[in-house]
Amino acid sequence: MISFGNRRRTAALALFLLSASLLATAAKKSTSNEKVIDSGTFVVTIKGKQVATEKFEIVQMQDMSVARAELRVDDGSKEQKAELQMASNGNLIRYIWKQEGKGEAVVEPKDEFLVEHVSLSDSNKKAEQPFVLPTSTLILDDGFFSQRELLLWRYLATSCQPKQGQPGCTLPSQQYGAIVPRQQNSVQVTVDYKGSQKINIKGVDMDLQRFTLSGEGFNWTVWIDSQYKIQKIAIDDESTEIYRQ
């Protein structure tokens, strides 16, 4: 059973289930056309050494949501940028990945399914990769950890089953299809809720909720706080940890 500490948060989570979009419910009040849902920086470490950072922002607009991210790798390679555009129901409108000197990848709907267009800067080559997958398919590109947060938001919005008259709710295991544009392939991701846990992050004790994201060849542990924001990701097989700065 999952609980985020009080009945107000439990009621909010139940509201997510009734809402057409978790993003619309979670958005902060704003007088502008964009409502910031989450923003910040993830620091990526391997064996305790910082190797990259991801700066991201997730915003709600009137009829769509946009997740923007910039990935900077400390080896001196060019910055990578990604923009994920989603309809109010979470379906994909368009995903764009770019890196100077490398090229770009665009994933968008085509008829009832999805297609990826790849352009390589060094050779001027172009390729098209069709996916027989619905527009509700997630994007989980390499190096962009904020996209894992969107996956967990969808899981909470669609899987949480409130218990009548009781705080909290149950969260059964769920499987999702996703596209990894930089690999030009698709994967199946299983999300499991593992319960609450107190962990120490950068000297601060935090009461968090723990999840696993697993599939063929990967197994990640993810911790989120009471505001549904990722605070830490651990990839034990790769000696990698990601923290919110």
Q: Torsion over CA of 1, 224, 214 and 18, rounded to 10 degrees?
A: 60
| pLDDT at site 122 | 77
Taking a C-beta distance cutoff of 8 angstroms, is the pair 220, 212 a contact? yes
DSSP 121-141: TTT--EEEEEE---TT-EE--
Give backbone dihedrals phi and psi of 3, rounded to 5 degrees, phi first: -145, 135
Cβ of 24: how many Cβ atoms within 10 Å?
16
| pLDDT at site 2 | 52
The whole-angstrom separation of Cα 5 and Cα 233 is 22
245 residues of the chain, pLDDT tens digit each: 454 444 334 334 433 333 334 444 454 444 457 899 999 999 999 999 999 999 999 999 988 999 999 999 999 889 999 999 999 889 999 999 999 889 999 999 999 999 999 998 877 789 999 999 999 999 999 999 999 999 999 999 888 777 777 766 789 999 999 999 999 999 999 999 999 999 999 899 999 999 999 999 999 999 999 999 999 999 999 999 999 99
Query: Beta strands 161-162 and 80-87: pairing type?
Result: unpaired
| pLDDT at site 6 | 41
